[in-house]
Structure 1
Amino acid sequence: MLGNLTNKRGGAASSINLRPLQIEMTPKRPFYAVGDVHGCLDQMQAALSKIDDDIEALEIDDPMLVFLGDYVDRGPKSAQVLDELFHLSLENPDDLICLMGNHERMMLDFLDTPLKAGPRWLRFGGMETLESYSIEGVTHDAGPEQLYEACEELWDALPEGLEPWLRNLPLRWSSGNLHCVHAAFDPALPIRQQSQDVMLWGCDSFLKTARNDGNWVIHGHTVVDKAIWEHSRISLDTGCYFTGELTAAAFTSNTCRIL
């Protein structure tokens, strides 16, 4: 059981929030999905505790845990979030999936091409990630020398094995007719024909057009006030880095339950 991930027990079971489904959910294995963490370590640990309590209270058999990407940037503890997820993945390779988000992609691009990718990453939260690795003094308008120096310091600060782990994060994960992705799937294309750009960055038609193939898409990336599920989409990014609310959902027995 996923309770072994955190070793936290006790307390009441999580609240259950149910609504009728337009299309039946048929996962092959029960699972939990967690929205965009963005460097919010405390909220991530609280979400893991809620999941553990839910598994124990409802005696969920053999569940999976799926994180929907965007672990870094904007929040204060990106380094600690990555470290915890990296080690949990190593300890639970068959029970834990961490998807890649566009912010992980931007961080990797910075490591590869700091002059080209650095300015954009810094504007979208990279400065906070650097600070979480104790790399100080980098500004939004950093010049070439400062970008190169910050890149070298970040390479040195990353724990052994973390960078290749980041590069190998999958872009999607599926169970039955439920499909997890960071940003979006193009509703005009089959699940297995989606582009990397759409899965990481989204597309306009995703939020306007429901799928008509009997599949549900569970995603983050687009901030919503509260988790919503409608028209074959389930949106779980509740803007944790500025709202303090990290959303987790359970997919069991043809239900979506917001914890």
Structure 2
Amino acid sequence: MIGRLGNKRGSSASSINLRPMQVEMKPERPFYAIGDIHGCLDQLHAALNRVDDDVEALNIDDPTLVFLGDYVDRGPASAQVLEELIQLSLSDPDAVVCLMGNHERMMLDFLDDPLKAGPQWLKFGGRETLESYGITGVDAEAGKEQLYEACEELWDAMPEGTEAWLRHLPLHWSTGNMHCVHAGLDPVASIKQQSQDVMLWGSNAFLKTPRSDGNWVVHGHTIVDKPIWENSRISLDTGCYFTGELTAAAFTSNTCRIL
């Protein structure tokens, strides 16, 4: 039960409905999706509260909780967010799904090859992730020795099992005609014929071309002013690390509710 996993903290939840659907949503089981967290622990707790309250208020039976990736970087508490998500997912892997985002991929690339991957990762939020593990003074201009040293310190600082958990994160999760992914799906390819690059990094075609096969794609990655759905896409990344707004959406029938 998501309410138990979420460790209720006593907040209340409210919901709004979005615009009418062009294609009916037909999930085979109820689920909740949470957008890009980016190291924002307080907002994660608040979103879990809203999900817990919704499950309890509507007596939702056996829902799945799906996180859409990008748990690390930019915000101040990446290490703590990862620790909480790992505990949630391991406590009930059938009820909690954590997808991989491009920022998890960049973190893993840094661990594998700090000299090659470090400057880009540090430029796009890796510095804040290192700081959350107590590793300071490293930025995108760091030299070779500093990058290697920071990588070794990160290996030492991460709790046992963190790196393996990150490497085994799935790229997508589906139920019925609803497909959750971090960045996007190629609109002209079948659901089963998707590239890792598009799922992690998105594409212009995904943002411009509606699907024509009756499927919906629930995603993060691309920041929107407010959660929207249109043209077979449901966009839930509301830029939590600078807006303070972490979006949680409920898919409990043939509609979407923003909690």
Could you state the TM-score of these two structures normalised by the residue count of structure 1?
Answer: 0.98
Count of residue pairs the alignment pairs up: 259
Is 1:186–1:203's contact at 8 Å kept on the other side of the alignment? Answer: yes
Counterpart for residue 180 of structure 1: 180
Shift of 1:238: 0.2
SS of the counterpart of 1:193? coil
CA-to-aligned-CA distance 1:172-211 (integer Å, 9 cap, x gap): 0000000000001010100110000000001111111100
Identity %: 77
Q: State whether structure 2 residue 214 is matched by structure 1 residue 228.
A: no
Is 1:9–1:52's contact at 8 Å kept on the other side of the alignment? Answer: no
CA distance in 2, matches of 1:68, 1:118: 24
Counterpart for residue 142 of structure 1: 142
CA distance in 1, matches of 2:92, 2:160: 18
CA distance in 1, matches of 2:139, 2:7: 39
Shift of 1:139: 2.2
Shift of 1:9: 5.8
Comparing 5-14 and 103-112, the one that deviates more: 5-14
Q: 1:120 to 1:13 in 2, by over 3 A?
A: closer
Counterpart for residue 129 of structure 1: 129
Comparing 70-79 and 11-20, the one that deviates more: 11-20
Match of 1:248, as an amino acid?
Answer: A
Is 1:115–1:144's contact at 8 Å kept on the other side of the alignment? Answer: yes
Counterpart for residue 117 of structure 1: 117
Q: What are the residue-to-residue correspondences of 1:188-227 with 2, within 5 Å?
A: 188-227=188-227
Shift of 1:5: 1.1
Is 2:238–2:246's contact at 8 Å kept on the other side of the alignment? Answer: yes
C-alpha RMSD of the superposition: 0.9
Match of 1:8, as an amino acid?
Answer: K
CA distance in 2, matches of 1:58, 1:108: 39
Q: Which runs of 5+ in 1 are unaligned?
A: none
CA distance in 2, matches of 1:219, 1:15: 19
CA-to-aligned-CA distance 1:104-142 (integer Å, 9 cap, x gap): 000000000000000110000000000000001112200
CA distance in 2, matches of 1:23, 1:6: 31
Counterpart for residue 243 of structure 1: 243
SS of the counterpart of 2:256? strand
CA distance in 2, matches of 1:215, 1:139: 41
Q: Which runs of 5+ in 2 are unaligned?
A: none
Match of 2:116, as an amino acid?
Answer: K
Could you state the TM-score of these two structures normalised by the residue count of structure 2?
Answer: 0.98
SS of the counterpart of 1:73? coil
Counterpart for residue 21 of structure 2: 21
Is 2:11–2:50's contact at 8 Å kept on the other side of the alignment? Answer: no
SS of the counterpart of 1:229? strand
